[in-house]
Amino acid sequence: MKALITGGAGFIGHHLARYLLESGYRIDIADNFVRGPRDADVIALTSSSQARLLDVDLLNPDALSDAAADYDYIFHFAAIVGVAQVLERPEAVLRDNVTMLVRALDCARDQTQLKRFVFPSTSEVYAGTLEHFGLPLPTPESTPLALPDLGRPRTAYMLSKIYGEALCQHAGVPFTILRPHNVYGPRMGLSHVVPELMERAHHARDNDVLEVFSIDHRRTFCYVDDAVALLAAAARAPECNGETLNLGREGPEITIGELAAMITDVVGKPLRIVAGPDTEGSPLRRCPDMRRTIELTGYRPRVALRDGVERTYAWYRGNVFGGRGIYAR
């Protein structure tokens, strides 16, 4: 089998590339390295004779002119992401995310044996529904989508993903749409709540205060190894063709304060956890209904939260917190 992964130097894209390579796939990784770093992990991955690196920018109309025509799977992760980017450049987020998806879909239509085009959307697509009507929890994929205020910069990212879902629906290629919910793990930068809390706990002194924002907000977290196994299973499963599915874990659901306590215990620091203000735009609860994804893929997430937090901290301690970090916020 052969796969193209756009944004393959990024967080989930890189872990998926490694997973597929270890599963015997041939892979092409397309990335412009604006956010995903050209680090030792990428160099090791692309040193394999079964992997090829396409150093390209999908905003260039000819970016995928050297791509193959015999991909079995295309996974499209290339996108502008991150709260800072969305708040500072909402017009670029809308325009460029859609443009990059159009390039990837054009490539998909040129394939001779494509089995699936996989589009990672976002759990943010439910934000408007939550604001106007409330959400069932856990939240099923069948939940109708509503739009928040279009003038808010933060709306730009979720709009680009909703539009992207519609493009996939009408592109004339076999597709699966997945909506990730709080995926975490090694190599995800420092702006997500898990590594952000880890960084502050790691550098704190014993008995320091650890301020925790949105301390009572509840989340479920999915370790990246489970996320990529679900992605690959959804791509392979005939039953997932044409489906829109949640990607994450349905439990355990914990507060951010409880997560902070777990992280300080893993880091090994006696810290005083103190509630900070709630993060603007952060929902009180976020929890995906995973029944349909598990039913169609046959895969149930396996990595316990404590285990995933320990693995993540071990990686950050060895690769970032020692002063050698190259990962953008």
- At 52, which amino acid appears? R
Q: Please, what are the domains in the chain? A: 2-185+222-249+288-304 (3.40.50.720)
Q: Could you please report the per-residue DSSP string of 237-260?
A: -GGGTT-EEEES-----EEHHHHH
Q: Among 160, 188, 231, 156, which Cα is nearest to 35's?
A: 188
- pLDDT, position 232: 98
Distance CA 81, CA 97 (A): 9
Half-sphere exposure of 220 (CA within 13 A, CB side): 24
Say if strands 218-219 and 254-255 run parallel, antiparallel, or are unpaired. antiparallel
Let me know: does 240 contact 247? Beta carbons within 8 Å: no
What digits encode the pLDDT tens for the residues 15-51?
999 999 999 999 999 999 988 888 989 999 999 999 9
Closest by CA position to 93, among listed 183, 9, 10, 155: 155
The reported pLDDT for the residue numbered 281 is 83
pLDDT tens for 90-121 read 999 999 999 999 999 999 999 999 999 999 99
> Is the pLDDT at 327 greater than 60, yes or no?
no
For β-strands 218-219 and 26-31, DSSP reports them as: unpaired
What gap in Å lies between CA 241 and CA 267, rounded to an integer? 42
Q: What is the pLDDT of residue 329?
A: 39
132 contact partners, CB below 8 Å, separation of at least 6: 146, 148
Which residues touch 220 (CB under 8 Å, ≥6 apart)?
A: 181, 182, 248, 249, 250, 251, 252, 253, 254, 286, 287, 288
pLDDT at 239: 98
Tens-digit pLDDT profile for residues 203-223: 999 999 999 999 999 999 999
The reported pLDDT for the residue numbered 328 is 41
The per-residue pLDDT of the chain, averaged, comes to 95
